[in-house]
Amino acid sequence: MDNYSAVVVEGLRVDRGGHQVLHDLTFGIPTGSITGLLGPSGCGKTTLMRAVVGVQIVAGGAVTVLGKPAGHPSLRNKIGYATQNPATYADLTVRESLRYFAAVLGAPRTDVDRVITEVGLGDHADKLVGRLSGGQRSRASLGVALLGDPKLVVLDEPTVGLDPVLREELWTLFDNLAKRGVTLLVSSHVMDEAARCERLLLMREGRILADETPEELRSQTGQYDLERAFLRLIADSEVPA
Partner 1 sequence: MSVAITLATTRRILTQLKHDKRTVVMMLVVPSLLMVLLRYMFNSELAFSRVAPALLGVFPFLIMFLVTSITTLRERTTATLERLMTMPLGKLDLLFGYAIAFGALALLQVALATGISVAWLGLEIAGSLTLLLVIAMLDALLGVALGLLVSAFARTEFQAVQFMPVVVLPQALLCGLFLPREEMGWVLEWLSNILPLSYAVEALNKVTATTDVDGTLLRDLVIVAGSALLALVIGAATLRRRTP
Ligand X SMILES: Nc1ncnc2c1ncn2[C@@H]1O[C@H](COP(=O)(O)OP(=O)(O)OP(=O)(O)O)[C@@H](O)[C@H]1O
Return d(Cα 88, Cα 72) in angstroms, integer.
24
Query: Which stretch in 35-43, 55-63, 95-103, 174-182 sits in contact with ligand X by CB under 6 A?
Result: 35-43
Residue 21 contact partner, candidates Mg ion, ligand X, partner 1, none, CB within 5 to 8 A by sort of partner: ligand X
Residues 79-138 that bind ligand X (CB under 6 A): 84
* Smaller CB separation from ligand X, 38 or 115: 38
Return d(Cα 112, Cα 96) in angstroms, integer.
9
* Smaller CB separation from ligand X, 62 or 190: 190
Pure H helices in 75-199: 94-105, 110-118, 134-145, 164-179, 191-194
Classify 24 as helix, strand or coil: strand
Query: Which stretch in 37-45, 51-59, 134-142, 172-180 sits in contact with ligand X by CB under 6 A?
Result: 37-45
Residue 69 contact partner, candidates Mg ion, ligand X, partner 1, none, CB within 5 to 8 A by sort of partner: none
Task: Determine, following the binding rule CB under 6 A, whether residue 41 of this chain makes contact with ligand X.
Answer: yes
Query: Which stretch in 4-12, 16-24, 52-60, 70-78 sits in contact with ligand X by CB under 6 A?
Result: 16-24
Return d(Cα 28, Cα 47) in angstroms, integer.
17
Return d(Cα 80, Cα 78) in angstroms, integer.
7
Question: What dihedral angle (degrees, nearest 10) is formed by the CA atoms of 6, 7, 8, 11?
Answer: 180
Return d(Cα 180, Cα 176) in angstroms, integer.
6
* DSSP state at residue 91: T
Task: Determine, following the binding rule CB under 6 A, whether residue 196 of this chain makes contact with ligand X.
Answer: no
Residues interacting with partner 1, by CB under 8 A?
15-17, 50, 53-57, 71, 73, 76-77, 79, 81, 83-92, 96, 100-101, 103-106, 128, 144
Binding stretches for ligand X (CB under 6 A): 16-17, 21, 39, 41-47, 84
